[in-house]
């Protein structure tokens, strides 16, 4: 029997939900925050070796010779791994587009400062680092490719010489009659923007313990993996191993945000283990390694963008030219973040035509990786800034201008020019609510008053759409042709009525284990304490992807509900047989399997499970005595992209509107965030506390991107940032605790009506803050178009104005 | 990020520590003193400092005190910065020093970091540098030849270098009390709360017959060492306080800064600008407090 996954909590088999939709306390947090879970650095096994890596001090150089003799002889050293070994035993990373992947250790040349060149496994990290000092590497320096604009020129130094170019991709998509729209427009506004490199910085860096069973050629990798199944498949490819000869075990970890990386560190540790005869090798990336060459750098972008506006204030066209500096290859799927904006290219607005010209190039900066949001934060900053520019020129209030252009509630499902279909929304309701919370008119009045006193006070209003539940098809632009991303769970009920949910992803802080327990507890009407969520390693886990692309809450809900339904169907058959009726007459309600219309004819789910487990003789013929089920959910109705990249990609479209009030100190250029308001609509809020946490965390990262975080390089591609004293993460002192409100427009197509909600705030915050800063600067006649809006940058602009 | 090998000593007294320093120096062994470790440990882990031996002062409880000595408050080198921050004596009789203590890093760092460690480390961005210059703090230093006392002006040499010989230990800082009626201010600009400052200023002054007197203006964070700015002080001395005058003094202070630091957080020009603004704001606040 095939059933639809319920798209509303009312459809759960319980009179009224006790957990779903409630801000229940998270079951996994106490262990995570008290450190009693097994973080990878706390894991050790007897005889384990420790890895340290020698890294390139040069941005671009040929490796002439590597002398490891003295290091190999040093007491305590088990193995030294070089590019020669890696060339023999491993393939270049397949996470880059074909031809742009590097090996895990430099082979023949280095392309960025911090690229691992030699790795050592020794009795301790101390000894391993001592051994590195005995290694001699001779380099021949090569000309450095610093400026991505130069990468487009034929005579620029080539990083991947066999490709004879530094351009990974140069592609243009046109959606609708863009030329006509722009020529018929009453106004066209064009502006350039620079988004400087920033990225994920989870509390815990990457770490792993790998062992290579050299007898059976079986590799086990434990570590802080965000997407374990994916990691296992990828490593099988790297090591030329059959896919069933590698097992990845993801340990609970301290955040990820796309920045965990892992391929490089895992390959190095595993190959060291192989070279050390199978001894397990631990690699814990330290923060300097992370900041120089980990997976923390993203979005190094130059934009030129235009919007076409009609006299009545309606926006009809949007054109974006993007030059994206991927760094020395894009081993961390860095290219995908250029494609992601297709899922919500024109934001909340009824823009009929659009164009996207993408140039992705390499340079001798570190490779770029995924970062929460995966590309839209800079894109939204560009679109929202242009909306403000247009509003100002037309003399319309920023909030009003947006309102006029919103997609209307009755227009959903709405297909945007770049092809994605938005499921539902009520953008005006969200806007109205946030303006009400902010008392927008009063705020504007206050601003006028303060401006008259000479203060630089600004208000930013920004609206965005957050695509939720990613699908590979969104990334066809960068050569990923697949459709469908699975999430599978197994639900099993034991003889005492206790329920175990087995999942393929581990803890990293978003509260999914709690959500799993909430759903199962309400489905079968048991206490949440009766539900345990168990992690399964890749060799036994159901197909899964894990957290990423604002998907896991929704995807996992689908999987859990599907599995629960399968159990319910099985139970109906068992109960029908026991009570001598048809399965169709038996239904689950409030934890009991009831025969419809026969009061008292019912069995508690624990009784059914117990019967199945203990009395297989009573079961319908051929039924396995297993009160359990596995279900793998993928987003329905996704399709292959056309030649302009258009497809139904992300399943859900959440929406948010932020309002910020800022004040700039003209003497120092320091911006203070005085007030911050958010209303968001992510459909059904399965656990409002978790949604709030996701939003507040996204605000923090947005504040970081807007004002603090930047990977700075010198004119010759030397990184200037390798410590947290230089890469500035905002702290509790810098991040406003936003006043938050909600609007709930359930998704008609997603499980329980919930939409992806993990990325919306980082999508919106930088745009809001840039709009606010520019509003503050407006009376001076200067505007900022570059992130982060550091005090020095803002002050320099103020100087120019005077 | 693990230190290179070193020998470790934890002497029981200042005398023992000095003797140890002398012996190791004689044996050509490079030794470093370890106090709270808040600056030294990261340097060891990054292998930018790689001494052969560490001499840990953690057992020297005799160097943990904040004492009222009449004109002066004597602070033992191993006193934690949070003890200085929490000290009622400092709050009442030397609020500038107390406030400077509070501005250092975060509470966790102040719990472990010592007052002596901050002075000895001589980071140009250390708040205590400006406090030393503005208040006329003296350092008591013990070495093989006994004890000597160094004035703030002579103590700071350049980046991370103070007038302490490799066989000497800073044992005490002597902070003059603030005379009643003194106006003071300490302000800085750091990218985030608790970061090392890009620039900062400390001011003390008195008002006599409505005019500024005994004006002391010190700045820090902008170049190699904290400094008093005579040009700014002279502009104020004997003049009646006014915003325009404060601004001029700020400009004079900024102009007096040699070779300002430029780094990822701010250019040299920007740091000069900060000095100009902060000195002016400090003067205004100090005048307000004096009045
Ligand atoms: C995140 C962070 C933020 C910080 N922010 C600030 C800030 O805003 N302002 C600020 O001023 N500092 C700041 N610091 C530095 C902090 O104040 C250190 O504590 C201080 O610089 C050194 O004190 P310590 O006791 O930890 O000394 P240690 O780190 O142990 O030693 C520092 C140096 O001084 C020498 N030394 C220590 N004690 C003596 C002694 N008694 N005699 C002779 N030599 C000695 C050591 O040999 C070493 O060279 C920060 C540190 C961190 C980690």
Q: How far apart are CA A664 and CA A431, in angstroms?
A: 25
CA–CA distances in Å: residue A84 to residues A80, A110, A117, B157? 11, 14, 10, 50
Per the structure, the count of domains in chain A is 3
Q: Do A708 and B192 touch (CB under 8 A)?
A: yes
Residue B67 lies in a domain: yes
Beta strands A61-67 and A136-141, pairing class: antiparallel
Question: The CATH number of the domain where A256 resides is what?
Answer: 3.90.1170.50
Helix (H), strand (E) at residue B183:
strand B183-189
One domain for residues A266 and A385: no
Domain stop point among A602, A633, A664: A633
Best of B4, B5, B188, B192 to disrupt the A interface by mutation (most A CBs within 10 Å)?
B192
pLDDT class for A1, splitting at 50, 70, 90?
low
3-state secondary structure B54-96: EEECCCCHHHCCEEEECCEEEEECCCEHHHHHHCHHHHHHCHH
Nearest to A286 among B1, B196, B266 (CB): B1
Which of left, alpha, beta for A215 (phi over 0: left; psi -120 to 50: alpha)?
A: alpha
One domain for residues A442 and A562: no
Interface subset of A 734-763, CB within 8 angstroms of B: 734
Domain stop point among B176, B207, B232: B176
Q: Tokens 């230990």 correspond to what residue? A: B169
Residue B1 lies in a domain: no
One domain for residues A720 and A740: yes
Q: How far apart are CA A553 and CA A556, in angstroms?
A: 5
One domain for residues B96 and B37: no
Condensed to tens digits (0 to 9), the pLDDT of residues A577-610 reads 999 999 999 999 999 999 999 999 999 999 999 9
**pLDDT for residue A2:** 64
Residue A156 lies in a domain: no
Q: Using CA of residue B185, residue B189, residue B190, residue B191, what is the dihedral sign?
A: positive
Least Cα separation, residue B247 to chain A (angstroms): 11
Rounded to an integer, what is the distance from CA A601 to the centroid of its chain? 49
> Percentage of chain A with pLDDT > 90?
96
> Percentage of chain A with pLDDT > 70?
100
**pLDDT for residue A478:** 83
**pLDDT for residue A660:** 98
Residue A398 confidence (pLDDT) above 90: yes
B95, B179 Cβ separation under 8 angstroms? no
Q: Quick one: which of A239, A243, A252, A240 has its CA closest to A210? A: A239
> Percentage of chain B with pLDDT > 90?
99
One domain for residues A662 and A695: yes
Q: Is A40 exposed, middle or buried (0-12, 13-18, 19+ CB in 10 A)?
A: buried
One domain for residues B170 and B199: no
Q: How far apart are CA A269 and CA A73, in angstroms?
A: 20
One domain for residues A463 and A557: no
Closest atom of ligand 1 to CA, residue B103? 8
Q: How far apart are CA A723 and CA A179, in angstroms?
A: 48
Domain stop point among A566, A600, A633: A633
Q: Is B226 in the pocket of ligand 1 (CB under 6 A)?
A: no
Residue B138 lies in a domain: yes
Least Cα separation, residue A695 to chain B (angstroms): 22
Q: Is A16 on the interface with B (CB under 8 A)?
A: no
Taking the centre of ligand 1 as the mean of its atom positions, its distance from the CA of residue B37, in whole angstroms, is: 6
Interface subset of A 674-733, CB within 8 angstroms of B: 708, 710, 712, 720-721, 725-726, 728, 730-731, 733
One domain for residues A29 and A45: no
One domain for residues B216 and B167: no
Domain stop point among B113, B144, B176: B176
Condensed to tens digits (0 to 9), the pLDDT of residues B87-138 reads 999 999 999 999 999 999 999 999 999 999 999 999 999 999 999 999 999 9
pLDDT class for A262, splitting at 50, 70, 90?
very high
Q: How far apart are CA A58 and CA A77, in angstroms?
A: 26
Residue A490 lies in a domain: yes
Cis peptide upstream of residue B141 (ω within 30 degrees of 0): no
**pLDDT for residue B126:** 97
Condensed to tens digits (0 to 9), the pLDDT of residues A269-292 reads 999 999 999 999 999 999 999 999
Q: Is B169 in the pocket of ligand 1 (CB under 6 A)?
A: yes
ipTM associated with this complex = 0.96
One domain for residues A491 and A446: no
Q: What value does the mean pLDDT of chain B take?
A: 97
Which residue range is the domain that position B207 belongs to? 183-290
Q: What value does the mean pLDDT of chain A take?
A: 96
Residue A622 confidence (pLDDT) above 80: yes
Q: Is B32 in the pocket of ligand 1 (CB under 6 A)?
A: yes
**pLDDT for residue B252:** 98
Nearest to A125 among B2, B4, B194 (CB): B2
Which residue range is the domain that position A515 belongs to? 9-37+485-633
Residue B143 lies in a domain: yes
Question: The CATH number of the domain where A456 resides is what?
Answer: 3.30.365.10
Residue A462 confidence (pLDDT) above 90: yes
List the residue whose alpha carbon is closest to atom 3 of ligand 1.
B105
Residue B73 lies in a domain: yes
Rounded mean pLDDT, B48-58: 97
Closest atom of ligand 1 to CA, residue B77? 41
Question: The CATH number of the domain where B258 resides is what?
Answer: 3.30.390.50
List the residue whose alpha carbon is closest to atom 5 of ligand 1.
B105
Residue B281 lies in a domain: yes
Residue A627 lies in a domain: yes
Question: What is the largest distance, in Å, between two alpha-carbon atoms of chain B?
Answer: 63
B286, B214 Cβ separation under 8 angstroms? no
Domain stop point among B159, B176, B193: B176
Q: Is B189 in the pocket of ligand 1 (CB under 6 A)?
A: no
One domain for residues A657 and A611: no
Residue B2 lies in a domain: no
Rounded to an integer, what is the distance from CA A128 to the centroid of its chain? 33
Q: How far apart are CA A176 and CA A186, in angstroms?
A: 18
Q: How far apart are CA A491 and CA A521, in angstroms?
A: 11
Nearest to A708 among B191, B270, B274 (CB): B191
The two structure tokens encoding residue A312: 């009545």
Measured between beta carbons, the chain A residues lying within 8 angstroms of B5 are 126, 130
Residue A730 confidence (pLDDT) above 90: yes
Residue A688 confidence (pLDDT) above 80: yes
Nearest to A792 among B4, B47, B267 (CB): B267
One domain for residues B146 and B193: no
**What's the pTM value of the predicted model, to 2 decimals?**
0.97
One domain for residues A716 and A780: yes
Taking the centre of ligand 1 as the mean of its atom positions, its distance from the CA of residue A725, in whole angstroms, is: 15
Residue A714 lies in a domain: yes
One domain for residues A671 and A755: yes
Q: How far apart are CA A512 and CA A758, in angstroms?
A: 12
The two structure tokens encoding residue A407: 């997609």
CA–CA distances in Å: residue A615 to residues A128, A578, A604, A618? 59, 11, 16, 6
One domain for residues A591 and A654: no
One domain for residues B65 and B146: yes
Beta strands A421-422 and A456-468, pairing class: unpaired
Condensed to tens digits (0 to 9), the pLDDT of residues A83-117 reads 999 999 999 988 888 899 999 999 999 999 999 99
Per the structure, the count of domains in chain B is 3
**pLDDT for residue A593:** 98
Q: Say which residues have a Cβ less than 8 Å from residue A228's Cβ, sequence separation at least 6.
A: A248, A249, A250, A504, A505, A506, A537, A538, A541, A544, A546
Question: Residue A707: what are its φ and ψ, rounded to 5°?
Answer: -125, -25
Rounded mean pLDDT, A248-252: 97
Rounded mean pLDDT, A314-318: 98
Residue A656 confidence (pLDDT) above 80: yes
The strands making up B199-208's β-sheet, listed across from edge to edge, are B183-189, B199-208, B211-220, B227-228
Q: Is B105 in the pocket of ligand 1 (CB under 6 A)?
A: yes
Condensed to tens digits (0 to 9), the pLDDT of residues A64-90 reads 999 999 999 999 999 999 999 999 999
Residue A331 confidence (pLDDT) above 90: no
Q: How far apart are CA A676 and CA A608, in angstroms?
A: 52
**Inter-residue long-range contacts of A15-18, CB under 8 Å, 24+ positions, other chains counted:** A15/A589, A15/A590, A17/A522, A18/A521, A18/A522, A18/A525
One domain for residues B281 and B215: yes
Residue A777 confidence (pLDDT) above 80: yes
Domain stop point among A599, A633, A667: A633
One domain for residues A106 and A252: yes
Q: Say which residues have a Cβ less than 8 Å from residue A192's Cβ, sequence separation at least 6.
A: A302, A303, A304, A785
pLDDT class for B161, splitting at 50, 70, 90?
very high
Condensed to tens digits (0 to 9), the pLDDT of residues A2-57 reads 689 999 999 999 999 999 999 999 999 999 999 999 999 999 999 999 999 999 99
């Amino acid at each position: 029997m095939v059933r639809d996954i319920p798209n509303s909590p009312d459809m759960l088999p319980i009179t009224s939900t006790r957990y779903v939709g409630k801000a229940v306390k998270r079951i996994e947090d106490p262990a995570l925050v008290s450190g009693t879970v097994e973080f990878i650095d706390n894991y050790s096994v007897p005889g384990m070796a420790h890895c340290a890596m020698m890294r390139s001090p040069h941005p671009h150089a040929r490796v002439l010779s590597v002398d490891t003799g003295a290091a190999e002889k040093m007491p305590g050293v088990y193995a030294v791994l070089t590019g020669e070994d890696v060339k023999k035993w491993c393939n270049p990373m397949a996470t880059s587009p074909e031809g742009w992947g590097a090996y895990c250790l430099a082979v023949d040349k280095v392309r960025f400062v911090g690229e691992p060149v030699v790795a050592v496994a020794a009795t301790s990290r101390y000894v391993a680092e001592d051994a590195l000092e005995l290694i001699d590497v001779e380099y021949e320096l090569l000309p450095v490719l610093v400026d991505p604009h130069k990468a487009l020129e034929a005579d620029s130094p080539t990083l991947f010489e066999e490709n004879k170019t530094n351009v990974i991709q140069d592609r243009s998509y046109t959606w609708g009659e863009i030329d006509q729209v722009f020529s018929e427009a009453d106004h066209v506004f064009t502006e350039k923007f620079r988004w400087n490199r920033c990225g994920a910085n989870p509390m815990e860096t990457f770490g792993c313990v790998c062992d290579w069973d050299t007898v059976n050629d079986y590799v086990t990798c434990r570590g802080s993996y965000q997407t374990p199944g994916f990691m296992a498949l990828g490593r099988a490819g790297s090591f030329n191993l059959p896919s069933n000869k590698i097992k990845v075990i993801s340990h609970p970890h301290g955040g990820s945000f796309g920045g965990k990386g892992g391929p490089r560190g895992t390959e190095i540790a595993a190959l060291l283990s192989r070279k050390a005869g199978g001894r397990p090798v631990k690699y814990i990336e330290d923060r300097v390694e992370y900041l120089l060459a980990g997976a923390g750098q993203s979005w190094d972008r130059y934009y030129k963008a235009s919007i076409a506006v009609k006299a009545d204030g309606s926006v009809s066209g949007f054109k974006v030219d993007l030059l994206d500096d991927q760094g020395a290859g894009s081993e961390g799927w860095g290219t995908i973040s250029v494609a992601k904006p297709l899922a919500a290219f024109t934001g909340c607005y009824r823009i009929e035509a659009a164009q996207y010209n993408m140039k992705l190039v390499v340079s001798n900066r570190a490779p770029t990786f995924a970062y929460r949001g995966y590309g839209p934060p800079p894109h939204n900053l560009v679109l929202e800034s242009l909306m403000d520019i247009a509003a100002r020129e037309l003399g319309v209030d920023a909030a009003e201008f947006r309102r006029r252009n919103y997609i209307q509630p009755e227009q959903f499902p709405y297909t945007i020019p770049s092809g994605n279909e938005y499921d539902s929304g009520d953008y005006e309701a969200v806007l109205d609510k946030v303006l009400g919370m902010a008392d927008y008119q009063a705020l504007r009045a206050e601003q006028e008053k303060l401006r008259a006193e000479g203060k630089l006070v600004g208000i930013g209003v920004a609206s965005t759409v957050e695509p939720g539940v990613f699908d590979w098809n969104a990334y066809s632009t960068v050569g990923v042709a697949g459709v469908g991303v699975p999430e599978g769970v197994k639900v099993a009920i034991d003889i005492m009525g206790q329920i175990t949910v087995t999942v393929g992803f581990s803890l990293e802080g978003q509260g999914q284990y709690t959500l799993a327990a909430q759903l199962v507890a309400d489905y079968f009407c048991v206490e949440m304490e009766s539900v345990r969520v168990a992690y399964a390693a890749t060799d036994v886990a159901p197909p899964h992807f894990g957290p990423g692309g604002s998907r896991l809450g929704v995807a996992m809900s689908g999987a859990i509900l599907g599995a629960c339904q399968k159990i319910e169907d099985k139970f109906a058959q068992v109960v029908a047989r026991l009570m001598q009726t048809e399965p169709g007459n038996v239904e689950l309600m409030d934890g009991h399997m009831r025969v419809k219309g026969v009061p008292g004819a019912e069995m508690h789910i624990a009784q059914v499970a117990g019967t199945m487990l203990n009395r297989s003789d009573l079961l319908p013929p051929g039924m396995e005595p297993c009160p359990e089920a596995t279900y793998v959910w993928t987003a329905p109705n996704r399709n292959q992209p056309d030649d302009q990249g258009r497809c139904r990609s992300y399943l859900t479209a959440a929406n948010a509107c932020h309002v910020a009030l800022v004040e700039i100190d003209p003497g120092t250029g320091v911006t203070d965030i005085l007030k911050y308001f958010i209303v968001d609509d992510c459909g059904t809020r399965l656990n409002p506390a978790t949604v709030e946490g996701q939003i507040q965390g996204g605000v923090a990262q947005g504040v970081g991107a807007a004002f603090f975080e930047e990977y700075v390089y010198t004119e010759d591609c030397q990184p200037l940032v390798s410590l947290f004293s230089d890469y500035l993460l905002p702290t509790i002192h810098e991040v406003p605790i936003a006043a938050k409100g909600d609007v709930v427009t359930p998704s008609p197509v997603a499980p329980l009506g919930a939409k992806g909600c993990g990325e919306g705030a980082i999508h919106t915050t930088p745009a809001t803050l840039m709009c606010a800063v520019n509003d503050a600067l407006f009376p001076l006649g200067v505007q900022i178009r570059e992130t982060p809006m550091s005090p020095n940058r803002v002050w320099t602009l103020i100087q120019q104005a005077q | 990020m693990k230190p290179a090998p070193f020998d470790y000593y934890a002497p029981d007294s200042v005398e023992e520590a000095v003797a140890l320093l002398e012996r190791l120096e004689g044996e050509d062994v490079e030794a470093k003193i370890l106090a709270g470790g808040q600056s030294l440990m990261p340097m060891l882990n990054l292998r930018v400092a790689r001494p052969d031996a560490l001499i840990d002062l953690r057992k020297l409880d005799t160097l943990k005190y904040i004492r009222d000595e009449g004109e002066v408050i004597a602070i033992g080198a191993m006193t934690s910065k949070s003890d200085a921050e929490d000290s009622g004596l400092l709050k009442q009789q030397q609020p500038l020093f107390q406030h400077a203590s509070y501005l250092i890093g975060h509470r966790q760092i102040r719990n472990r970091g010592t007052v002596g460690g901050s002075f000895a480390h001589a980071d140009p961005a250390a708040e205590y540098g400006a406090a030393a210059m503005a208040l006329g703090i003296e350092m008591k230093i013990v070495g093989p030849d006994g004890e000597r006392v160094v004035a703030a002006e002579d103590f700071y040499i350049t980046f991370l270098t103070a007038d302490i010989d490799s066989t000497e230990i800073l044992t005490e800082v002597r902070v003059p009390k603030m005379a009643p009626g003194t106006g003071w201010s300490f302000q800085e600009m750091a990218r985030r709360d608790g970061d090392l400052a890009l620039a900062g200023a400390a001011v003390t002054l008195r008002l006599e017959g409505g005019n500024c007197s005994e004006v002391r203006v010190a700045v820090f964070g902008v170049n190699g060492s904290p400094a008093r700015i005579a040009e700014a002080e002279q502009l104020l001395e004997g003049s009646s306080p006014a915003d325009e005058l404060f601004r001029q003094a700020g400009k004079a202070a900024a102009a007096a800064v040699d070779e300002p630091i430029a780094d990822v957080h701010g250019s040299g020009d920007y740091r000069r600008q900060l000095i100009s603004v902060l000195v002016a704001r400090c003067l205004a606040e100090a005048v307000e407090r004096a009045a």
